[in-house]
Amino acid sequence: MIALTLAEVAAAVSGELRLHGADTPETVVSGGVDTDSRNIAAGGVFVAKPGEATDGHLFVGKAVENGAALAIVERPVDEPVTQIVVADAVLALADLAREVVARVRALGALRIVGITGSNGKTTTKNMLAAILREEGETVAPVASFNNAVGAPLTMLRVTESTRFLVCEFGADAPGQIARLAGLVTPDVGVVLMVGMAHAGGFGGIEETVKAKSELVRAVREGGVAVLNADDPRVAGMAPIAAERGASVRWFGADASADVRRGEVTVSADGTATEVTVEGRTLPLHLKVLGAHHVSNALAAVAAATALGVAPDAAIERVAALELAERWRMQVLGNDRVRIINDAYNASPDSYHAALRTLAQITGPDERMVAVLGAMSELGEYDNAEHAKVALQAVRLRIPRIVVVGQEARGLYLSVIAEGSWDSEAVFFPTADEAYEYLMGELRDGDRVLVKSSNAAGLRFLGDRLGESFA
The count of structural domains within the chain is 3
Do 163 and 231 have their domain in common? yes
Same domain, 377 and 430: yes
pLDDT of residue 201: 57
- pLDDT for the residue 199: 56
Residue ending a domain, among 298, 319, 340, is 319
pLDDT in tens, 397-450: 999 999 999 999 999 999 999 876 666 899 999 999 999 999 999 999 999 999
Residue 100 lies in a domain: no
Do 230 and 351 belong together in one domain?
no
One domain, residues 253 and 352: no
Q: Is residue 98 part of a domain?
A: no
- pTM summary value: 0.88
Q: Does residue 44 lie in a domain region?
A: yes
Q: Does 257 fall in a domain? A: yes
- The DSSP letter of residue 220 is P
Nearest alpha-carbon partner for 251 in 313, 305, 318, 215: 305
**Domain of residue 29, CATH code:** 3.40.1390.10
201 Cβ contact list (under 8 Å, min separation 6):
172, 173, 377, 379
* Residue 166 belongs to a domain: yes
Annotated binding site: 117-123
365: in domain: yes
**Residue ending a domain, choose from 280, 296, 319:** 319
Same domain, 311 and 183: yes
**Cα–Cα distance measured from residue 170 to residue 252, given in angstroms and rounded to the nearest whole number:** 22
Among 93, 171, 162, smallest CA distance to 129 is for 162
- 356-365 in b/e burial notation, b at 16+ Cβ within 10 A? bbbbbbbeee
Domain assignment present for residue 276? The answer is yes
User: Which amino acids are annotated as binding site for ATP, given as ranges?
Assistant: 117-123
Could you tell me the residue range of the domain that residue 270 belongs to?
A: 107-319
Residue 142 shares a structural domain with residue 67: no
- The Cα 322–Cα 14 span in angstroms is 44
Residues 200 and 236 in one domain: yes
Q: What's residue 329's pLDDT?
A: 87
> Do 160 and 305 sit in the same domain of this protein?
yes
The answer to whether 299 and 125 are in contact (CB under 8 A) is no
What's the pLDDT score for residue 40? 98
Domain identity same for 266 and 337: no
Contacts 24+ apart (CB under 8 A), 254-257: 254/229, 254/230, 256/229, 257/229, 257/230, 257/298
118 with 38, same domain: the answer is no
Which residue, among 464, 230, 193, 449, has the nearest Cα to 328 in the 3D structure?
Answer: 449
Domain boundary among 294, 319, 344: 319
Question: What pLDDT score does 418 carry?
Answer: 85
Q: Quick one: 366 and 286 in the same domain? A: no
What stretches in the chain show pLDDT beneath 70?
196-203, 420-423
Task: Specify whether 125 is located in the same domain as 242.
Answer: yes
